[in-house]
Amino acid sequence: MILGVPTEIKPDEYRVAITPIGVRELSERGHEVLIQRGAGEGSSLSDADFVAQGARIVPSAADVFGVAEMVLKVKEPQPPEVELLRPDQTLFTYLHLAPAPTLTQGLRESGAVCVAYETVEDVHGRLPLLAPMSEIAGKIATQAGAFMLEKPLGGRGILLGGVPGVAPANVMVIGGGAVGMNAAFIAIGMEADVFVYDVSIDKLRELDIAFGGRASTVFSSTLSVEERLPDMDLVIGGVLVHGARAPHVITRKQLGLMKRHAVLVDVAIDQGGCFETSRPTTHGDPTYEVDGIIHYCVTNMPGAVPITSTYALTNATLPYVLALAELGVAGAARRDPGLRLGINVARGSVTHPAVAEALGFDYVAPEAALEIAEPPASVPGADGAGATASHARPNGQ
């Protein structure tokens, strides 16, 4: 198969969809990898690094999309990239389509098969391709929140960890999945007083053990959030419903309960945001103020640390890339039902139920769109482990 990797063109995006490690693995299996000139520079990867492992450098995105049978990206395709997609092509990237009707329609019209990293599941119903970026985003959320609390950045002017004789900041983390756990770990390390909210008692038990009692765990409800909001200096939202729009866990009315110039960090902004007042921002212009509350809603937080993010992403995606290259989408999906769940758009149809419901499109099963036979009850997954056709959807992700 011919695989193509274009340079990311979303503002302030410095990641690249593959490392030389990935190129080497694909090349040794007889696949051809095209890399757009300069695609890795933001992650400190030169064209020579890719060429040394078997890649071929091409001048433009048009050269990548025009030849590649499968296009690997990091972020959702921007309008000029959507125009380059072909009906016989597979796109493998983060898509986050639930809040993006225009992009979804563009992908439908392209006829391409679009597989989203963020809805691929493993045998335990977890999100293995979202997890590494969630871990990074969670850590960045606390770092960014601490920075935005500084007075020159518009915040309250409070140090997250305090000093002897002066109390630390109060941090609320809503959602105890990968984002929330990592956000809390950093906040604990910075010596803040941390409160983690989730609707799963089992998740809260796990977090209580992981944190060693250094953070308070709270069952999440409208009232429990409202009761503590007046004390909070920093609130981090990390809730997720697989493939669907994020639910609003803080409304505009509830902002009135908060301290003036407290900070909200919305890590769920790619899925529409988990605060009612959230709207997408960029690293170049990361914050805005609503009713006296500072909002940080950068849609590609891991893009700020591209070296870490690029390697973490390739580590996770490479087994799936190899499966798709060897077997094609239909074959790989037959073998791994979790990969099948990543197929969001195919041959003009929306093939993920949560995306279809969020946007009001008709849902077409991937089996129908791609003529994929139903998988057996237990088949080998992309990592060689057993996979089942049904996947639990855990809370707090």
CATH fold of 136-304 reads: Rossmann fold (3.40.50)
Q: Is the pLDDT of residue 64 over 60?
A: yes
Q: Mark whether 122 is an active-site residue.
A: no
Q: Is the pLDDT of residue 379 over 70?
A: no
pLDDT digits (tens, 9 = 90+) for 192-247: 999 999 999 999 999 999 999 999 999 999 999 999 999 999 999 999 888 788 89
The predicted structure's pLDDT at residue 380: 38
Q: Is the pLDDT of residue 392 over 70?
A: no
Q: Where are the domains of the chain?
A: 2-128+305-388, 136-304
User: What percent of the chain is predicted at pLDDT more than 90?
Assistant: 91
Q: Which of 42, 37, 41 minimizes the C-alpha distance to 55? A: 37
Equal CATH topology for 2-128+305-388 and 136-304 = yes
Q: Is the pLDDT of residue 381 over 60?
A: no
pLDDT digits (tens, 9 = 90+) for 65-86: 999 999 999 999 999 999 999 9
Residue 295's DSSP bridge partners are 264, 288
* Sign of the dihedral defined by the CA atoms of residues 259, 262, 266, 272, in that order: positive
- Average of pLDDT values for 350-367? 95
| Amino acid in the structure at residue 11 | P
The predicted structure's pLDDT at residue 244: 82
- Average of pLDDT values for 337-343? 96
Radius of gyration of the chain from its Cα atoms, rounded to whole angstroms: 21
- Average of pLDDT values for 342-363? 96
Q: Mark whether 291 is an active-site residue.
A: no
The predicted structure's pLDDT at residue 374: 57
**Active-site pick, 96, 248, 261, 352:** 96
What are the CA-CA distances from residue 170 to residues 1, 109, 194, 331 (Å)?
A: 52, 48, 6, 50
CATH 3.40.50.880 fits 2-128+305-388, yes or no: no
Q: Is the pLDDT of residue 254 over 70?
A: yes
Cβ within 8 Å of residue 83, ≥6 positions away: none
The predicted structure's pLDDT at residue 37: 98
pLDDT digits (tens, 9 = 90+) for 17-40: 999 999 999 999 999 999 999 999
DSSP 386: E
Instruction: With cut-offs at 50, 70 and 90, classify the pLDDT of residue 384.
Output: very low
- Average of pLDDT values for 364-370? 93
pTM listed for this prediction: 0.88
Instruction: With cut-offs at 50, 70 and 90, classify the pLDDT of residue 288.
Output: very high
- Average of pLDDT values for 141-153? 97
**Active-site pick, 270, 295, 352, 391:** 270
Tell me how far apart the alpha carbons of residues 273 and 281 are, in angstroms, rounded to a whole number.
11
The structure tokens 């960890």 sit at 161
Instruction: With cut-offs at 50, 70 and 90, classify the pLDDT of residue 266.
Output: very high
